[in-house]
Structures are given as structure tokens and as C-alpha cells.
Amino acid sequence: MSGIEQSMADDGRETTGYNLKKTVVMVGMMGAGKTAVGRAVAAKLKVPFLDSDAEIETAANLSVPEIFARDGETFFRKRETEVIARLMKTAQGILSIGGGAFLAQANRDVIRSQGVSVWLNADLELLWNRVRHKDTRPLLRTKDPKATLIALYENRVPFYEQADIAVDCDPSLSIDAMADRVIAALASRRDVMETVND
């Protein structure tokens, strides 16, 4: 499993008493917190954390913006689909995927058949506040990045709404608290997570 970003850190705040039955896939817009919250959920549940973008970057030895610049978005999306299909076959854990990945029918199908999708539903203002000062988002390298973000948001939300579980992002909550909110949503699904009696 070399090249796969994992986090199983013992931070003393793990959630005990749960057994994950399926890989949980974090979906949503750039800036929603898929990686940060996903990593926190994985640490609490003591399961691997996987990141499709990190895996693609490791395989290509290039950053996502560099792949976009060199090979284009179509090439990137093909690699992304291959990586997601492979990661879904690994041991149960938390998988964060890129903001555009859930738009592809093939990705939604493999996630639905082998795992469970969790949409981190963040409003536009929160997303903009989180991404406006970062230059690591290739799709926002336009003359009017906020207008681009709005267009992406409006295009993508109908796909995100197809996720198995939706968790609203609250800007007043810490990453740790958001992770607890996700775990509570997962715990409501017996097909996804079971309670283990100590």
C-alpha cells in the first residue's frame, strides 16, 4: 500500500465501540473539508485514511495542478477513476476524493456498490472563504475565481445530492466536532457501522 496516504494517529480522542463495515467516501466541493474531516474521522475510528488526489500525485510524481497543466483535466479524470476503483478494493477506511470525482457515473457506481458516500454540504460563502487565498485549485485559476466557484457549485450540487449521507458543514464547529457529526451520521446506518460491545 505504498504511496497511499494514511493516518491512524493516536491522538487520545478516538471514538471506541464502532466497527466500520464499508469504506466511507467523503465527497463535496473544494474547501468543504473532505481531507481534514476525513482524516479526523479515520483517527477516531482507528481506520486507514486514504486520499485519491494524494495517490494520483504519488503515482505521477506531480501535483494535481501540475497534472492539469501538463496533461489536462480529461487525462486527470481518467486516472482519478482508476485510482478510486483500486482504493475501493482496499481494507475499510475513510477515502477522500476530489471535488469533481463524484460527477462521473462510473465513480458513483463503484462507490455505491462497494462503500458509502458522505457529502460534506458547505454553503458557497464558507467555501469561498476557505479557497479564496489558495493557489492550489487549478479550476479556480480564472479571471473571476468566485464566479467560477459559483458555477462549479451550481453544476455539482445535483450530483452531491445523490450521496448516501449528507452532513451539513457548520463554520462554527472545529474539525474534531465535524468529525463527530460525521460519525454520528454513520452510526445511524447499521449497514455501514456497527456498535461493538466491550
Q: What is the pLDDT of residues 79-92, one digit of tens each?
A: 999 999 999 987 68
Q: Across all residues in the chain, what is the average pLDDT? A: 86
Side-chain half-sphere of 6: how many Cα atoms within 13 Å? 14
Structural class in CATH, domain 18-193: alpha beta
Domain boundaries, the chain: 18-193
Q: What is the pLDDT of residues 9-31, one digit of tens each?
A: 344 444 457 889 999 999 999 88
User: In what helix (H) or strand (E) does residue 23 lie, and over which residues does it extend?
Assistant: strand 23-27
**Residue type present at position 31:** G
pTM, full prediction: 0.85
Position 131 pLDDT exceeds 90: no
Could you tell me if 119 and 163 are in contact, meaning their C-beta atoms sit under 8 angstroms apart?
Answer: yes
